[in-house]
Structure 1
Amino acid sequence: MSFAFARSRYRQAETLVQESVKDPYDIIFVTLRELNRSLVVLARTQQEARTLPSDHVNRVLTAIYILQSSLDFEAGGDLAGDLFQLYEFARFHVLKAMRGETDARLAEAAAAMGDILGAWEQIGSDVRSQAL
């Protein structure tokens, strides 16, 4: 396979991943899902002692920025503060891993984001069932 062909397939795949979402719940859901997916990839890569894929590092950092920026500390109170700290934990350990520090806790960060994603999915199904 030629480099040009591989590059064009990558760009096509990247375009297909982008979803059209309008509902604020769905925006956060997609962001959390992509954050979790990329953290799992980074944790696996770290465990295999390979170089972190920069596209997943960028996705994680972008997703964390989006999620932290979307928090409403007035309405969310302690929960918003706790979520901010969990996102910051993930960001901190991704940056440690980028610097090649072996004590970066990417698996823990991925597990925490998986828990948040699961809770967000439950909230969504509860909200949608109440709307019916």
Structure 2
Amino acid sequence: MNDSYDGYRAVDLEVRVCAASPYELVLVMFDGLLDELSRARGHIEASHYELKGQSLEKCMNILTALNSTLDYEEGGELVQDLSRLYDYCLHRLVDVSVSLSVTGIDEVVHLLGQIRDGWEGVNASHH
């Protein structure tokens, strides 16, 4: 049962991505990333190392995609800060992949949660 649920979630995410404005797109990506991070955390705790690897790889792909959505022309200082933060999160996840440290994941979740909240605030001020 669980497998089909995951498949459904992936499709749902893709459908939402197709329908999303750039702002909503970033939020969808954040939600997908935070979901996947908690899944990776579960895999580490359950010692499912192969699944952990796949899960962390997905997280890194989403982070890389988030990084590529940054607008260096318009964004100025904020974009530089975000880019550095995404890079830091990527490095932490590479580290987690080896060290299997759930505190590393928690740190990334905490940082990304703050960015996501900020992003929602930005979105609110644009409407």
TM over 0.5: same fold? yes
CA contact (8 A) 2:13 2:32 kept: no
Return the index of the structure with the highest Cα Rg: 1
- TM value normalised by structure 1: 0.74
Higher helix share: 2
Instruction: Give SS of 1:105's match.
Output: helix
Output one character per residue of 1:99-121: Cα deviation in whole Å (capped at 9) or x when no partner: 23649722111100000111111
Q: Does 1:123 align with 2:122?
A: yes
Is 2:10 the counterpart of 1:11?
no
**1:39 Cα shift?**
2.5
Task: Point out which structure has higher relative CO (alpha carbons under 8 A, 6+ apart).
Answer: 1
**Partner residue of 2:61?**
62
Match of residue 19 from structure 2: 21
| Number of residue pairs matched by the alignment | 123
Contact 2:37 2:109 in 1 (8 A): yes
Does 2:89 match 1:90? yes
CA contact (8 A) 2:37 2:55 kept: yes
C-alpha distance 101-56 of structure 1, shift in aligned 2 (>3 A): closer
For normalisation by structure 2, the TM-score amounts to 0.77
**Alpha carbons of structure 1 residues 120 and 9: separation in structure 2 relative to 1, 3 Å:** closer
Post-superposition Cα deviations, 1:37-91, rounded to whole Å, max 9, x if no partner, equal 2223334555x37336344313211111111111122321211111011111111
Q: d(CA) in 2 for partners of 1:83 and 1:101?
A: 25
Q: CA RMSD in A?
A: 2.7
The runs of 5 or more residues in structure 1 that have no matched partner are: none
Q: Structure 1 residues 84 and 33 mapped into 2: Cα distance closer, same or farther (>3 Å)?
A: same
C-alpha distance in 2, partners of 1:13/1:43? 18
In structure 2, the residue matched to 1:37 is 35
Instruction: Look up the equivalent residue of 1:64 and give its one-letter code.
Output: L
Equivalent residues of 2:67, 2:83 under 8 A apart: yes
Sequence identity of aligned pairs in percent? Answer: 21
How far apart, CA to CA, are the structure 1 residues paired with 2:112 and 2:56? 15
Q: Does 2:73 correspond to 1:77?
A: no
Q: Distance in 2 between matches of 1:68 and 1:103?
A: 23
